[in-house]
Amino acid sequence: MYLIICLDEKGGMAFNNRRQTRDKVQRAHLLKVTGDRPIWVSPYTAKLLLPEAEEVCPGRCMVSEDPLADAGSGEYAWVETEDVSPYIEKAEGILIYRWNRLYLADLSFDESALEGFSFVCSGEFSGSSHDRISFEVYER
């Protein structure tokens, strides 16, 4: 499984079980870089991704109450409000999007979890709601 995580400047993921922000260009980028592989999401994330995913790549968005448990080898799990730490050993790679802003957060990603992963590449683009969104790719 490959994790997809969106983070603010301090590693924050969510606040009060809600995503910090959303960006249409980031979602389009995500759909492009994941190719034709399934993307497992929670029902909450499906409301954000499903309409675009079905338009661009029908049938790839897999909705699950526990996307981290259900994503298989070579598949993606985009998490917004889930703690990834119990599943980090299962991860084959991690795609991190950084909002490059600071938001309120009560769920964060512990970046020490990147130990054991190798940095592959990074880049940035202008989003629809953010002047700059960066991304980083890590693999085992």
Please list the pLDDT of the chain residue by residue as tens digits (140 residues).
999 999 999 999 999 999 998 999 999 999 999 998 999 999 999 888 877 777 766 788 899 999 999 999 999 999 999 999 999 999 999 999 999 999 999 999 999 999 999 999 999 999 999 999 999 999 99
Nearest to 93 by CA among 116, 70, 62: 116
CATH number of 2-139: 3.40.430.10
Q: Which ranges of the chain does DSSP label H, i.e. alpha helix?
A: 24-33, 43-56, 67-70
What pTM was computed for the model? Answer: 0.93
Q: Residue ranges of the domains in the chain?
A: 2-139
